[in-house]
Structure 1
Amino acid sequence: MSDFTSDFWSHYVAGITIIGIVACFLLLWTTARKKVASSSDNTTGHVWDENLAEMNNPLPRWWVWLFVITLVFGIVYLVAYPGLGKFGGKLGWTEQKQYEAEMAKAKAELEPLYARFRAMKIEDLAKDPQAMAIGDRLFMNNCAQCHGSDARGSKGFPNLTDNDWLHGGTPEKIQETITNGRIGIMPPMAAAVGTADDVRNVAHYVLSLSNSPHDSVRAALGKPKFAVCAACHGADGKGNQDIGAPNLTDDIWLHGYGEDAIIAMINNGKTNQMPAQKDKLTEDQIRVLTAYVWGLSHNPKSVGK
């Protein structure tokens, strides 16, 4: 109800609810007062299909009382809890309050465990079975939607089980990424590179950096044009983790492999975002999740190892 800018719908919902309850009471009351005349054999005189007679049997008393109790319960519930439009209920219950209470209870119960984790280095946390069990749940609930349940990622979403890192794979950098998120921007570079043929030549030069199949003549022609890319990726193409520029020499392709994919990237650019988790997870949870992610590419028993 709080989403509406007018009180009309609040009053409408409350009115329909109250009318419905009152109508049920009236229905029960009027039917209880009505007496149907019956014959000596306890039938009402109505007959269908030649011999199907309507009996004049009252509703079972337990059913009537159950109906009354249900209506009374509905009234008590609507007085105590939200249900009548914007009326919040006398008990002041809200989903937000219940959520906060449950979270506070869980935090209090987990505090001794997280206190032990705080005293450990990230590298040691990655070896702790209890911490990794929590880290696995945190990953599945908050990261697997993009990076996959096996953490191997997919097109546009980095593989977290290898040692290829856009912004650095140290515990500190991983924690920074999880906490604040990242925005990776590859601007369209076709105009700076030159003609469409120049773009194709640069694509072949990029392929040559990782010894991928390429046209060596085009790669040689594209090398001078790669200078406009070197500002981010470096003259040797090994990238720059300070700005998240990928390493082009390792044959790992985040947004697609091959001549066409590289040409599309040069022509159109790309913007990728890793959302910040600091508003969803506590500092302790982020630290455990950091250990879990770091362990994926360092622990022999981790995913894919």
Structure 2
Amino acid sequence: MSDFISDFWSYYIAAIALIGIVWCVWLLFSQRKMPKGVSTTDDTGHVWDGDLRELNNPLPRWWMWMFLLACIFGLGYLALYPGLGSYAGMLKFSTQGELAAHREAAEKTQHQIYAKYLNMDIKQVAADPDAREIGQRLFLNYCAQCHGSDARGSRGFPNLTDNDWLYGGEPETIQQTITKGRNGVMPSFASTIDAKQAGDTAQYVRSLSGLSSDPIRASRGESTFKSTCAACHGANGKGNQALGAPNLTDNTWLYGSSEATIVDAILKGHNGHMPAHEEILTPERIRMLTAYVWGLSNTGGAAK
């Protein structure tokens, strides 16, 4: 409990815990003897089953000592472990520390498993059946939420089983992507392009990949494309992997290829975020995951 906004709450909780135990001990000892003028045969007035009466007897000795030992145990526990506000306890135990210890032990065990792959080329790792199985489990745990269990992606999330790569499909690039993440930003051009221009540009973009388009509108959209879009996607629309700008001349579409979808991208933009995993996965795990992802689109490395 180290996140109190002031020391008052720490003292407040500690006081309640200690006063509660002290009060229980006082109550215990106050009831160990009969009050003057009260007999053990006095009836309290509580009757069950017709003739079962409650008498005013003192607490049994065994129960009293059991209760007292419970209070002593509580005080000992609070001295050793956290429980009194922000007091960390004599053993300095914390759930975060326990988790870190378990994680460290698990990583040592896993390191022995991954050790045989450390000196192997990524492509060799991808060809190893055991390594692919490990990589698949890592993928299902950390990547399938966005890219799908079959790695074929969905709207806004790239398909990892084809050979169309936003930033490049070499093992080193894939490893960099997993480690550091990516931020693919398509800016909004609503302030410089109106809806009619956006529609014409969408027709030109569709024509680049051989989709049906209006040649007159596409001709008008070409000038807008070259003055506005070519800076990232290139004059011929083939994209730029250094920027993560998609190739617009193939049949792979991250958000869709309809005119309305392309117009929406031009006027509203997109902000694709691939989170970094360097704080989540060990370097050995990232390497195994890299090999698996690379193998998905290289049939010589892994079966799809």
User: What TM-score do the two structures reach when normalised by structure 2?
Assistant: 0.85
Cα drift, residue 181 of structure 1 = 1.2
1:92 maps to 92
Residue aligned with 1:2, SS? coil
Q: Is the 8 A contact 1:183 1:274 kept in 2?
A: yes
Aligned-partner Cα distance in 2 for 1:148–1:34: 73
Aligned-partner Cα distance in 1 for 2:77–2:292: 45
Residue aligned with 2:272, SS? strand
1:110 maps to 110
Cα drift, residue 235 of structure 1 = 2.4
Q: Is the 8 A contact 1:126 1:299 kept in 2?
A: no
Aligned-partner Cα distance in 2 for 1:120–1:50: 81
2:270 maps to 270
> Which stretches in structure 2 are left out of the alignment for 5+ residues?
none
Cα drift, residue 266 of structure 1 = 0.6
1:221 maps to 220
Aligned-partner Cα distance in 1 for 2:295–2:207: 32
Q: What is the identity, as a one-letter code, of the residue corresponding to 1:200?
A: G
Q: Is the 8 A contact 1:45 1:53 kept in 2?
A: no
* 1:1-305 paired onto structure 2 within 5 Å: 1-34=1-34, 37-39=39-41, 44-47=43-46, 51=50, 53-56=52-55, 66-192=66-192, 194-227=193-226, 228-299=228-299, 305=304
Q: Which moved more, 1:265-274 or 1:148-157?
A: 148-157
Q: What is the identity, as a one-letter code, of the residue corresponding to 1:230?
A: A
| Aligned CA distance change for structure 1 residues 265 and 133 (closer, same or farther; 3 Å) | same
Q: Is the 8 A contact 2:46 2:54 kept in 1?
A: no
Identity %: 50
Cα drift, residue 238 of structure 1 = 1.9
Alpha-carbon deviations, 1:113-157, whole Å to 9, x = none? Answer: 222111111112123333333323333333233323333333222
Aligned-partner Cα distance in 1 for 2:265–2:177: 24
- Structure 1 ranges of 4+ moved more than 6 A: 57-62, 300-303
Cα drift, residue 253 of structure 1 = 2.5
Q: Is the 8 A contact 2:294 2:301 kept in 1?
A: no
Residue aligned with 1:33, SS? coil
Output the aligned Cα RMSD.
2.9
Q: What is the identity, as a one-letter code, of the residue corresponding to 1:294?
A: W
Alpha-carbon deviations, 1:188-208, whole Å to 9, x = none? Answer: 23455x442111111112122
Q: Is the 8 A contact 2:203 2:214 kept in 1?
A: yes
User: What TM-score do the two structures reach when normalised by structure 1?
Assistant: 0.85
Q: What is the identity, as a one-letter code, of the residue corresponding to 2:23?
A: A
Number of matched pairs: 300
Residue aligned with 1:271, SS? strand
